[in-house]
Structure 1
Amino acid sequence: MARVQATDSLVPRQVFEIPTTSSVKSDRQMQNSSSDDSSQGSGVKLKKRIGLLDGVAIIVGVIVGAGIFVSPKGVLIYSGSIGQSLIVWVLCGVLSMVGALCYAELGTMIPKSGGDYAYIGTAFGPLPAFLYLWVALLILVPTGNAITALTFAQYLLKPFWPSCEAPIEAVQLLAAVMTCVLTVINCYNVKWVTRVTDIFTGTKVFALLVIVAAGVWYLFQGNTEHWEEPMRGTLTSPGLIALAFYNGLFSFSGWNFLNFVTEELKDPYRNLPRAICISMPVVTIIYVVTNIAYFSVLSTDEILSSDAVAVTFGDKMLGFMSWLIPFFVACSTFGSLNGAIFASSRLFFVGARNGHLPAAISLININCLTPVPSLIFLCVLTLVLLFIRNIYALINYVSYVEALFTFLSVAGLLWLRYKQPKTERPIRVSLALPIIYLIICMFLVISSFFQSPLEVGVGTAIILSGIPVYYLTIHRPVKWLTNLSQAIHLWCSKFFICMPNQEKFD
């Protein structure tokens, strides 16, 4: 199958072909089609409702989730010293910034929703793009959302069970309710989504400022003993350094989520790079000063013995007000999950639009102009994973997979510069940036093979399992799957009052 260009479809529609939807149209739909500039002819499309401030809030809101409140322990374990931990945090921010700038070029050259999926498909063809979608569908997105939802529930319930863990059933139920509530908000109105993101982004930044202020006050009292030998105990093994980076990068994950919703971003050629250049330095600075506060107040042993560093910090510094930290962490994860649901649902929406998932997932509600079936599909996957007890173990199996596909996306940038040198690039980053990023990603991926062979093997097996699925459902489709997809598509069109996207092919 020939590789496609930026304006072509990733795959011909076979198993997941969109059937005729004339039976679904009503007089009201036709009136909406003629009166709304976002719907034309036989389809509708997503509206550009996300401004620069909303874009910054989405990036910061998705990145600043539960990670910074718990992952400093993981970075310290594999760094060995507080000095090297801070170096890792700074370099993780710089690496994320470099990656985000590379994605800014990709996002403005290929201004389509879907992020890595769209870039890998344009550069390397449909099979690699499908494999990314397969891994994201099976584990990455719903697992990340489920963990965020469970973290929210655990911290919100913490004041009610101060001396022990909250019952798992209560945690799962509250996490499921929150997931459903946020899904409804995302289905109803994009403006509500951005408003929730803006509010809770401010809340989580305020929570981190409280931690920073307490740490600065503690330092000004003359408590500097933890900084007398900051590099003592430093670990230099390449494998351990790679694992320290993985833990740090986990807290920065989500820097590419704005690329998933490029089609809904106002003036993406200007606002996408601006949002990246504003949000990434802000997040990096906040993370570094927050870790300085942690290390100033807590000893290395206290951090390593804590499962939630921020809560331990609050118990030591805030006294009777220590309940604020669990509350703020819950607010942080609430906003983070809201942004993740919004952005990741567009990934599956674009995958379905390109024929890599059932066509029903590419439908858009004609009243709200949101991908309702995609949002509900993602909600169901997340709810299923909420009730798997060993869900946290899944992250270890696919952490390197994220680095692998990010490597592939940035490699696609270099490939497209060679293959399509005349394609318009509103943003053109220095050639050194993608090369540096690729070298570091290669180091992380290779180090993983030696340090965590089991996790790497399972992650690779998950990727390879998508190959037979691709050939059975897309390359050489099975007839009964085609009929089933068309039946589901027609039912969803009627039940959710949806129509196909106007821009069916990427």
Structure 2
Amino acid sequence: MAKVSASETLAPKVMDVGEGEHSEAEPSGGVRLKKELSLVNGVAIIVGVIVGSGIFVSPSLALKYAGSKGMALIVWVLSGFLSMIGALCYAELGTMIPKSGGDYAYIGEAFGPLPAFLYLWVALFVLVPTGNAITALTFAKNILQPLWPACEPPTDAVTLIAAVITCFLTAINCYNVKWVTRVQDSFTAAKILALLVTFCASLAYLFSGHTENLQSMMQGTVTKPGDIAIAFYTGLFSYSGWNYLNFVTEELKDPYRNLPKAICISMPVVTLVYALTNVAFFAVLTNDQIMASEAVAVTFSDQILGVFSWVMPLFVALCTFGSLNGAIYASSRLFFVGARNGHLPLAISLIDVRRLTPVPSLIFMCLVTLVLLLSKSVESLIVYVTAVEAIFILCSVSGLLWLRYTQPNLQRPIRVSLLLPISFLILCTLLVVCSCFTHPLEVGVGVAIIALGVPVYLVFIMWENKPSWLLSACNSFNVFCSKMFLCLPEDSKEL
């Protein structure tokens, strides 16, 4: 993680191999990521990333901790509302600090390099790869389900398919950004259509006289704050990804206009679709059926679609495919920016000189995700991932308030009411505190992982007088990656 002079050391050595190649560079002649994302692409990224495995994994957990269908539905709607408030706060942050990297950039701007590094550290080993692994495994389970209709697909087959799809989407992201956006746009439209078809199927079921599952909707409602907090965690996990467009602000056309527009279009759409999907599940299935199912959508299709029940796993696969594609695209930019700032090895900040994509960052993210594909307890993963993410989202929104105080004259194309960030801070703090009483181990593990990043920062970032052998090893690794992938640091020019 040692900093190395990219322009003086790395670029000349790389050109020994890549001599004669000409990149599609900016007018300055430097190698840079291009602004290729339109408003439609931005909406597709947000909706596409959010609507993934969560809506098919979380309904049973939300109902388990909410206690009743009515309370679970309230949790889903309020989770969308809370995410919308957070997204609006991020719209101000994203237009005030128009840098890629999302929370990493905002926390660094407000509180300095150590908190920013801790976010990058946790995102690198917990938030992003775990979310990607869950999504890939959900895709694999559902794409294989029609082949094993009477039982669960073999674990080895699921893991293999998850690994293959992760590698395939990484390859697409490495090759061409336009291919990524085309895949994202197509699968986002397909997944919204699939969820609407689910709702329409449930309406047909209701109109045929089956209304018994929607009676006494509030019966059994849980009132314990800790359980309600975990119910919200499962809901918020399904909305996670609303801040991913902020990771790629530098590649968004006219970010001052398109970033807030994309958020304001996407979040109400997702909340409405999620609410309708849950109503569909609740109308067709009993409480016991939902809580006993690890794949609510498959149980739903078995109950209502009969011989066409294979359609639902296919719909789920469409949703998770698009979600994983968007997550890989956005998260790779987070680590690219972190490496560019010296918080990760320089090799991760290199850009392919021909395709102008951050190939090393994408490949590194793929490798970490592959390691985590053996995840077992989805419930525990959701709790500690959401708890850790909530802590850093709190830091980002606190940074908004802190910058309002310390830099009141900073240009703010969007300026939200103070009521929004303050309300968001209070609600998220209550959720984190309440969850500590019911799942102290998971929350404790998340906090411990954050704390572990401090000594890593002190050794690899703060320690200035590093031994020459370490600096030489880091530089050799960076040059090796540069030559292997034909990549250069950002703004490097051919010699």
Q: TM-score, normalised by structure 2?
A: 0.95
Q: How does 1:44-443 map to 2 (within 5 A)?
A: 44-387=31-374, 393-443=380-430
Structure 2 distance, partners of 1:139, 1:464, is: 13
Superposed displacement of residue 503, structure 1: 9.2
Structure 1 distance, partners of 2:296, 2:377, is: 22
The residue that corresponds to 1:494 in the other structure is 483
SS where residue 488 of structure 2 aligns? strand
Structure 2 distance, partners of 1:488, 1:61, is: 35
SS where residue 242 of structure 2 aligns? coil
Change (3 A) 1:503 1:132: farther
Residue 22 of structure 1 is aligned with which of 4, 7, 12?
12
Superposed displacement of residue 372, structure 1: 0.4
- How many percent identity over aligned positions? 64
Change (3 A) 1:312 1:394: closer
Q: Which moved more, 1:495-504 or 1:446-455?
A: 495-504
Determine if contact 1:120/1:129 at 8 Å carries over to the other structure: yes
Superposed displacement of residue 202, structure 1: 1.5
Deviations 1:224-273 (A, max 9, x none): 22333221111111111100100101110100000000011010000000
Change (3 A) 1:386 1:228: closer
Structure 2 distance, partners of 1:247, 1:503, is: 44
Q: TM-score, normalised by structure 1?
A: 0.93
Change (3 A) 1:435 1:503: farther
Structure 2 distance, partners of 1:71, 1:264, is: 32
Deviations 1:312-353 (A, max 9, x none): 111111111100001111111111100000000001000000
SS where residue 499 of structure 1 aligns? strand
Residue 40 of structure 1 is aligned with which of 28, 37, 44?
28
Change (3 A) 1:228 1:335: same
Q: Which moved more, 1:382-391 or 1:351-360?
A: 382-391
Structure 2 distance, partners of 1:321, 1:163, is: 15
Determine if contact 1:15/1:481 at 8 Å carries over to the other structure: no
> Counterpart amino acid of 1:353?
R
> Counterpart amino acid of 1:221?
S
Superposed displacement of residue 448, structure 1: 1.8
Change (3 A) 1:439 1:360: same
SS where residue 483 of structure 2 aligns? helix
Structure 1 distance, partners of 2:377, 2:440, is: 19
Structure 1 distance, partners of 2:404, 2:76, is: 31
Determine if contact 1:58/1:197 at 8 Å carries over to the other structure: yes
Deviations 1:93-143 (A, max 9, x none): 100111001001100111111100000000000000000111111121111
Superposed displacement of residue 482, structure 1: 2.4
Structure 1 unaligned residues grouped into runs of 5+: 1-12
Change (3 A) 1:31 1:165: closer
SS where residue 296 of structure 1 aligns? helix
Superposed displacement of residue 205, structure 1: 1.1
> Counterpart amino acid of 1:383?
L
Structure 2 distance, partners of 1:503, 1:84, is: 55
Determine if contact 2:380/2:442 at 8 Å carries over to the other structure: no
Deviations 1:280-335 (A, max 9, x none): 00000011111111111111121112111111111111111100001111111111
SS where residue 21 of structure 1 aligns? helix
The residue that corresponds to 1:473 in the other structure is 460
The number of residues matched between the two structures is 489
Superposed displacement of residue 463, structure 1: 0.5
Structure 2 unaligned residues grouped into runs of 5+: none
